[in-house]
Amino acid sequence: MSEVPLELKFLSSHEWVLIEDNVATVGVSDHAQELLGDLVYVELPEVGGAVAAGDSVGVIESVKAASDTYAPVSGEVIEVNEELEGAPERINDDPYGDGWMYKIAMEDAEEVGDLLDADAYSETIADEE
Amino acid sequence: MGNKTPLYQCHLDAGAKIVDFAGWDMPINYGSQIAEHEAVRGDAGMFDVSHMTVVDVSGGAAKSYLQYLLGNDVARLKITGKALYSCMLNEQGGVIDDLIVYYLRDNFYRLVINSATREKDLAWLDRQAQGFAGLVIKFREDIAILAVQGPNARSKAIALFDDYQQQSLRQLARFQAAEFDDCFVGRTGYTGEDGFEIMMLAERIPNFWERSLAAGITACGLGARDTLRLEAGMNLYGADMDETTSPLVSGLGWTLAMDDDREFIGKKALLQQRAAGIQQSFVGLLLLDKGVLRNHLRVVTALGDGEITSGSYSPTLQQSIAMARVPAGTAGQVEVEVRNKMLKAEVVKLPFVREGKSMLNHEGNHQ
């Protein structure tokens, strides 16, 4: 059973979001990294770029497969985790910590209401585990 | 629910993630595919390959039958236990399967064929047997296979056998097998490392697996098996070649014995292809940009387009690598289309890795 921290929001496409002062920090869930296996490449959005909720903004690739990652909320990308370029395995080792991917300065706080809470996300992945 | 090998419960006990592979429930990894890959390159790992099929061919016509059936010539096998890698071709020169054939004694050969092709192979073997009198083709469902691979694989595995067997296994040459009362051990593999492929009766293999684990041999899944064979430049049936591709455009020309008067299925087509000129070559690609090469991606070269037949990430080189079919004469730098971007790659000689060492940047490697 993979970990689903209660303080986070999620997309059904397995991204997690931490909302703090209008900034959304985004990563991929423990469940997703388990499904993908050892990650070997992460493509992140560009700092300063505008993204809209639901946009494909990057790719994570494991030995096995490539998977698009989607922006959970709209806004401007203000920071990316550059450590992932040389060490994508951080997502495997610590998906909710060192494995974070990027931060968005949110445009519309109400979009948070469209995200799944931890319980709802746990239900969506229950069938897969 | 798929077919299960006799080691299925052992895989679950070792924490395997199970996936479907050609109708078999097989371990893809036991946690980290990369760690398993590294165990084989640096120490010793083992793979359950019991989903592969052992077929014993015997009878007075066994040799002439296999000479007709296979692209390589079993007449090359003169020493008991010697192994030969070969393609089995259709009339058009396409590859029905690739296999290993062991010469056990006069008129007795053992084939190991792929799991995904099992049914069509067996049908083909039966069909081509017409006209060869007294041939016995026996499909050995009672045998399980464990591949033990890596620089320390032989020494760790040898210790698990009895004294007499140990003595024999220590002297076993490469691509040679030893047959004992209770098992059959070939010094062969699919990783580019030294090691054994061990066949024994299915009911005995769980105990041997447990003793191998206790001896410090790492359980490895099909994920690591694929990156290991790719680094070693070894073809995967169904990806790198199939019934529509000739060995001559799949890097397998070296497995064909076609320059004497032996007749074999597909020979006529191959000779015609060769006379007409081979338009494609089969090469290694090393990705220079960041990303991961995958099967079926388009390769753009100065001479036209090609296609990646198998691509992945090389844990040893820490770069993405692939095998590709490209226009004959392609060399130097090419581009690969990955999600609408053109990434740079370099054409290199196969293999990428041999016995734990990178083969890149050796003199004369880059084409």
> Looking at residue B367, what is its pLDDT?
43
The answer to whether residue B335 scores a pLDDT higher than 70 is yes
pLDDT at A2: 86
Average pLDDT over residues B303-314: 98
Question: What sign does the CA torsion over A50, A53, A55, A59 have?
Answer: positive
The shortest CB-CB distance from B34 to any of A41, A59, A63 is to A63
Residues 6+ positions from A24 with CB-CB distance below 8 Å: A17, A18, A72, A73, A75, A103, A104, A106
SS3 B266: coil
Give the minimum alpha-carbon distance from B293 to chain A in angstroms, rounded to a whole number. Answer: 10
Ranges of each domain in chain A: 9-115
Rounded to the nearest angstrom, the minimum Cα separation between B86 and chain A is 28
8 Å CB contact of B223 and A61: no
Calculate helix-pair angle for B62-69, B118-128, nearest 10 degrees: 120
Which two structure tokens, joined as six digits, stand for B84?
């030969």
SS3 content of chain B, % helix, strand, coil (to 5): 25, 35, 40
The distance of B190 to chain A (nearest Cα, Å) reads 18
DSSP state letter for B271? H
- The per-residue pLDDT for range A20-69, each reduced to its tens digit, is 999 999 999 999 999 999 999 999 999 999 999 999 999 999 998 999 99
pLDDT of B364 strictly over 50? no
Disruptive mutation site among A1, A33, A36, A38 for chain B (greatest number of B CBs within 10 Å): A38
Q: Report pLDDT digits (tens) over B96-123.
A: 999 999 999 989 999 999 999 999 999 9
Provide the b/e sequence for B28-66 (b: ≥16 CB within 10 Å). bbbbbbbbbbbbbbebbbbbbbbbbbbbbbbbebbbebb
Across the interface, of B223, B290, B291, the residue whose CB is closest to A64 is: B223
Q: What percent of chain B has pLDDT over 70?
A: 98
Sign of CA dihedral B110, B115, B120, B122: positive
**CB contact B21 to A (< 8 Å):** no
Q: Please answer whether residues A25 and A72 qualify as being in contact, where contact means their C-beta atoms are separated by less than 8 angstroms.
A: no
Range B284-308 average pLDDT:
97
DSSP readout, B140-169?
-TTEEEEEEESTTHHHHHHTTS-HHHHHHH
Which residue of chain A is at minimal alpha-carbon distance from B295?
A65
Instruction: For residue range A68-110, list pLDDT tens digits in order.
Output: 999 999 999 999 999 999 999 999 999 999 999 999 999 999 9
Q: How many CB pairs under 8 A join A and B?
A: 40
Q: Rg (Cα) of chain A, in Å, rounded?
A: 13
CATH number of B8-51+142-231: 3.30.1360.120
B325, B280 Cβ separation under 8 angstroms: yes
Please compute, for residue B266, the number of CA atoms within 13 A of its CA located in the half-sphere on the CB side. Answer: 27
Task: Express as a percent the part of chain B with pLDDT over 90.
Answer: 96
Render pLDDT for B49-94 as a digit per residue (tens, 0 to 9).
999 999 999 999 999 999 999 999 999 999 999 999 999 999 999 9
Q: Which value, to the nearest 10 degrees, does the dihedral of the CA atoms of residues B268, B272, B277, B279 take?
A: -70
> How close A63 gets to chain B, by Cα (Å)?
6
Measure Cα distances from B247 to B272, B276, B295, B329 in Å. Answer: 13, 15, 18, 17
Domain range list for chain B: 8-51+142-231, 279-367
Q: What local confidence, expressed as pLDDT, does residue A129 receive?
A: 59
pLDDT digits (tens, 9 = 90+) for B228-249: 999 999 999 999 999 999 999 9
Of the candidates B71, B100, B107, B74, the residue with the CA atom closest to the CA atom of residue B264: B71
The reported pTM is 0.94
Tens digits of per-residue pLDDT, B63-74?
A: 999 999 999 999
Which class is domain A9-115?
mainly beta
What is the CATH code for B279-367?
A: 2.40.30.110
Q: What is the pLDDT of residue A41?
A: 96
Q: Of A37, A41, A64, which is closest to B291 when you measure between CB atoms?
A: A41
Q: Take residue B359 and report the two structure tokens written for it.
A: 């083969």
ipTM attached to this prediction: 0.85
Please give the order of strands across the beta sheet that includes B183-186.
B177-179, B183-186, B195-201, B143-149, B45-48, B218-219
What average pLDDT does this structure show over B316-327?
97
**B27 touching chain A per CB within 8 A:** no
Query: Please, which residues bridge with residue B152 across strands?
Result: none
Is residue B271's pLDDT more than 50? yes
φ/ψ of residue B67, rounded to 5: -65, -30
- Which residue in B has a C-alpha nearest to residue A58's C-alpha? B339
Q: One-letter amino acid identity for B223?
A: G
Report which DSSP code applies to B319: E
CB contact under 8 A, A41 and B28: no
